[in-house]
Structure 1
Amino acid sequence: MTLVFTLMLEMFLSLTGAGAQSVTQPDDHITVSEGARLELKCNYSSSVSPYLFWYVQYPDQGLQLLLKYMSGGNLVSGVRGFEAEFRKSEKSFHLRKIPAHWKDSAKYFCALSDTVPGHNRLMNLRGEVVSPLDLSRTLPAAGGLLVPYCLSGSPAIKQVMQIVTMVPGQGGRFQSVCFP
């Protein structure tokens, strides 16, 4: 079985000021076989030391924290076999799992928050949707965007769009991970 990762829409909430920060997804397309190494890339930009997070939302469930980096060692172990490596020099926090399995179908979110005391800022979030590829189609979405999605993942897409529209005037993209 092949896992296909297609960049579709990445949430990018840009914050200004001394604690300006963002998270981005550099890859447009990744293909991984089931049982192989799964890696979801997350690069960040921050003028201060960030707190970094990976969240997952499985179908019909709430958002769950997979792992977080606040300080200390670079390799962070999470739940369900996931891990991420903080690389300050590369400004990256890539999530990985060996082996990948179809049960990993979910929405994945990379997030960061600055560590400047006294600053009340929104968490910066970038998300990925994981669902079956063979049902893929494109439908119009809020703001005139065309959001490709997998039919079985439609509730997940609706939830992602609600998050995107929470910040008026901000464009966004999220990444879809589809399992054929």
Structure 2
Amino acid sequence: MDETLTTDLARDVDTRCRLTGEFTLRSGQQATEYFDKYLFEADPHLLLRVAREMVELLPAGTDLLGGLELGGVPIATMVSSLTGRPALFVRKKAKEYGTCKLAEGPDVAGRSVTLIEDVITTGGAVRDAATALRAAGAVVEVVVCAIDRSPEGANPLADIGLEVRPVLTKAQLDAARG
């Protein structure tokens, strides 16, 4: 992505989404700031800008876009619309009625699934989804996320062989604040 575009997008996402206060993250960690990703996901123009950048990060050969519940679903839908690749909606837990599926959409067996997530800090939700999809026969090697909040230079999902491709990092968002 062009450096000016990155700076502008980082500034706009940061301005829209960064909240301060006391927050408990999914991982259980405490934080004094929080990126309320739903604020950019609910803005069709900002969501489109993020999704366009995600398109550029998709690996060749991606068969399905696996949007993680809840934040990854609108992003995966937008990326699907831009690319024509089918979306898959990955629940946190398989539903206990109807089809009892973990992943709603096309069959994943033997197909390359690129996971789509909004924010990654420790990667817990992504780890769970990748493990479950792999158990169902999917090939899962990459997750594309809007914001990577993990420590700079660290990949919290390296131990399961998952590459993280972020649109923006916490460092870029911090730098955009000036």
Pairwise same-fold verdict (TM > 0.5): no
Structure showing the higher strand proportion among its residues = 1
Structure showing the higher helix proportion among its residues = 2
Q: Which has the higher contact order (CA 8 A, sep 6+)?
A: 1
> What TM-score do you get using the length of structure 1 for normalisation?
0.30
